[in-house]
Amino acid sequence: MVLAWQIALGLILAFLFYGRQGAAWARTHASDQVFGYIFASIYAFAAVLLIDLTFTSAPIPRFDDVFVAGIALAAYLFGTGPAAYLLGIGLVVSAWILPPEGGFYVAGPAGWYRVVSFGAISFLLMFVIARLKQRSAQKLSFPMGYAFATAYAAVALAAMLVMFDSQPAPRFMDIFLVGIAVTAYFFTITPATYLLAVSIAISAWLLPPTHSFAIANPSDWYRIFSFTAVAVLLILLTARLKRWSAQPAEALSSR
């Protein structure tokens, strides 16, 4: 399982650093939008295959992070259209996999929470990336970033203790993904990385055995790994888009 994620993460990082050149080459043969939908379709096929090979016995928590990573890449390389198309496929696949398996009916509040949380965090990623591509993001002072991240972590911890202390929901860490995205967008990547580290510590404390930093189950280790991979990807994308937002307009138009 971890090996599959390592391969997927390596491919994602390759797209991150070389996707711009590849997209520029592809523009000589097709428009950004056309190639974006082709990319989204290929990624969706690969994601379904990866999920089928890795999670056949049971859909473990955060299995749809494979789609979250692809949605962020599609928005980053091609725009919101292909990203929204990939999100639609991800929602359909999630509904098919979640119990009762093999149908598009999602049973129970826990299943609906997973679908809604996956959709919400994907929309947030698309919004943040689109805003960063349109204009330079506001930069606030360095200490304020740490103050905001600390306050957000405290509020998120209090909310999770009320909602998830007895039984953490499958995607409870999405609360922290929102804070990491907002911190990276309004401040710098350093406070966002700090919030990521705090989020990992709090998640380890809430996961069974509760109120200790020991993680007992392999599926919970996967939850930590998957959350960290998506958060790091989000921070890297935000950092690169912020650098490009300071360049001339033609540099952005090439995206």
- For residue 107, what are its two tokens? 């049973």
- Per-residue pLDDT at 136: 46
In tens, the pLDDT along 133-180 reads 765 444 445 578 888 899 888 888 877 777 765 566 777 888 898 889
Q: Which amino acid is at 17?
A: F
Q: Chain-centre distance of CA 42, in angstroms?
A: 19
- Interatomic CA distance for residues 124 and 126, integer angstroms: 5
Of the pLDDT bands very low, low, confident and very high (cuts 50, 70, 90), residue 189 is confident
* Every domain of the chain and the residues it spans: 2-253
Beta-carbon count within 10 A of 242 CB:
17
In tens, the pLDDT along 191-223 reads 999 999 999 998 888 888 777 777 878 888 888
- Interatomic CA distance for residues 252 and 42, integer angstroms: 25
Average pLDDT on 29-53 reads 78
Match 């307009």 to its residue by tokens.
249
Residues 6+ apart with CB under 8 A from 242: 132, 136, 137
- Per-residue pLDDT at 121: 84
Match 């119990």 to its residue by tokens.
99
Q: Are 66 and 23 in contact (CB under 8 A)?
A: no
Of the pLDDT bands very low, low, confident and very high (cuts 50, 70, 90), residue 245 is low
> For the chain, first and last CA: distance in Å?
34
- Interatomic CA distance for residues 95 and 113, integer angstroms: 12
- Per-residue pLDDT at 249: 46
Average pLDDT on 79-108 reads 84
Report the percent of the chain where pLDDT is more than 70: 74
Closest by CA position to 69, among listed 95, 50, 97 = 50
